Structure 1
Amino acid sequence: MRGIISKYSDHITVPIMMIKHSEDAKDIEYEAVNKANAFWAQDKNDLKQEDYDEFYKSMTYDFEPPLMQLHNRVEGNLNYTSLLYIPSKASFDMWEPKHKGGIKLYAKRVLIMENNEELMPLYLRFVKGVIDTADLSLNVSREILQGSKVVDTIRKASVSRILKALEKMAKNKPEDYAKFWQEFGMVIKEGAVEDVANKDKISKLLRFTTNKSENAIQTATLECYVKSMQKDQKAIYYITAETYESAKSSPHLEVFNKKGIEVLLLSDRVDEWMVSNFGEFDGIPFKSIAKGDLEDLDSKEEKENKEKVAKDFEKVIKDMQKILDKQVKSIKVSSRLSESPSCLIADENEMGGNMERIMKSLGQDIPDTKPILEINPKHPLVEKLKIKVDEDLVNVLFDQAILSEGGQLKDPAEFVKRMNKLIK
């Protein structure tokens, strides 16, 4: 009984008295079993950071102090007090499907629901705290909360307050924001797609690495990317891969590195889903450098030269197509490559190789599509094909393209045999 009272009524202003345990049955004494005060109801000007930290630890059982807290009291058409915390570390179960929210809902200081999912969107599931309102009845049910205008208003205001605080942190305390992004960056990326109403605010909070970054730490913003775009650049270029290292060394980047064009390197598992649904930023569309043509990058002279080279390789490509007919949709002369002999790309509206691998790992069925093989006409291995279209060499070029984008070979042993033949 004492535990139930302490859990649900610890913060109401009226003390709840129970008989104090005593060996002498004749001597009856009463004691208060609730604290009879609510920490969040106190004036924030009377509270120190140490007080906030201690309350956070007692509420969440977290040993680390929070990164920041937001303490607000709203009065008017709707009356409520909110005390929200952003943890300094992500919880171990943040990616669990059954992860529960961290907001406790109180009505007139009486706890009516724990881990409430209606008060905070899924992408802010790491936020902990309490919300106390006098505009909900004590017997409110979860079903009623789902259609409650009170809850909806509190939710919108709380989300807006959190996003503004994060934007302020990013601007005034970049070191703290870097810590926050390292822990919660991937879930914030979910919000860029899920929360359409706040998409612009969230997009300014996003951080990435690029081909111009010195390491894998995500610090580049979309605003900075747009400011550094080249004069005739028409898209925000990106590449997705399983790891930062794979993205950084991708052959698809070669022409961009050569021309000094910045490319977002996306290696978080959520990135593929996010960028495919994100659409555009500041009116500029996103474009995968591993899909479709890159004719926008070519000058008039480069286009004319590419057409000339393509004609020279027509017979080579025709013979290669016969060998790889079951594996590729088509073969083209590449304008992407400057060092590597070959690479694989997908059509503009088809699923890329990285997304296919993610879907397969999740046990999802994927459409049966073939990639496009691009070859570098200036590479020595490709130049050899003009003398003789060797079947082993053609297959090696295809297998190398698979490996370079992080794929797996169906028959690694056969690849080794072909390599050994070519080395002899």
Structure 2
Amino acid sequence: MKKALLIFSVCSMISADICAQHPIITTKYTADPAPMVYKDTVYLYTTHDEDNADNFLMKDWLLYSSTDMVNWTDHGAVASLKSFSWVTKDNGAWAEQVVERNGKFYMYCPIHGNGIGVLVANTPYGPFKDPIGKPLVWQKENWNDIDPTVYIDDDGQAYMYWGNPDPYYVKLNKDMISYSGEIHKVARPEHYQEGPWFYKRKGKYYLAFASTCCPEGIGYAMSKGPEGPWTTKGYIMAPTDKSRGNHPGIMDYKGKSYVFGLNYDLMHITTTMEHHERRSVSVAQMNYRPDGTIEEVPYWSKEGVKQVQYLNPYKRVEAETMAWGHGVKTCNENGRGIVVNNINNGDYILVKGVNFSKGGKTFQIAANAIEGGSIELRVDSLNGTILGNCNISKNDNHWKIYQTQIKKCFSVHNLYLIFKGVDNKELFSLDYWKINK
């Protein structure tokens, strides 16, 4: 499909290095980040603003993963409104969270105006299925049941918080798909708006949330116990006119703490300065003081977070693994899973921190040529040293492995895959690539 937007014209006029440091997901609009660390991998679940959204237009939940915090692999939609047989709406897939317990993965999903549902899967990738066939929570007298967040305490008791304009909680049973006791309404912490994120760290309980309005920053409160009372301590990220809404997700990974949130930077870079609900997820490192309070984080930096390990190019690398994608999109192709498509002349993919320490003789890539074209391989910048040029010849829409020799390279570099071909034509789709020693 030809790009209906401004073909990233604003981005093409500014430094590629600046472009490359904007939101971590660039092939789709994403919001409401919910990170989960499981077996040395970060699984980032997000909501999904449709490309043509003016107001909230949200139909499914997406998954991305990373082991280095800068290159993210797209796994597509892992659940949608259609995952619930009792949901008849075609809009309203709002902020979710996934938690693991005893080898199963539980996704808590608000369906705006229809309560909060729960889905279960045997892997982080799904398929997620509805085990109860009805809402887990639905206070029909109001529309407050949004933005669930779940944490399993050290004693095994799980809690689910949620709510706008007031927070609520319930104690989940060990099956994670039912609860015992009443729904408890909590005294609203100062500046609380919505989007709670509940967790415990070093014996202290935290409730982060979208704070003040409008615009919204990210605030947080602390408590000595999982049920409160909650005392607001300040901002993790102060409100700024660069954003409107916000929604935090917080985790520790490989010795560092991170806060995820959202903004409108991708929309503003690539399309228009007019406001639409087309949001994007960003991440920043955050630090705790000795007393457990959190140091305020400035607005999402252009530098992004530091890469925590280098990427191995000598094994299969999914084409949808990237730090930045200029112009490209992703889709689910039957039989192949997620692929990169919508590739036009001048588009590119940036993969950060590729470790070429073992050298390499050839670059190979699985592609489906449409119009055909070539892939120019450069390191460190769009104008950096050329490693090679891989010709993707037109082949009547069949997937094929293409290969080219590359120059010797024995260190760590950012790798740019720059796409060349006829203007105003979709060139090819990409599945995966690797370097052969």
TM > 0.5 = no
TM-score by length of 1: 0.22
More helix by share: 1
More strand by share: 2
Considering Cα pairs closer than 8 Å and 6+ residues apart, tell me whether 1 or 2 has the greater RCO. Answer: 2
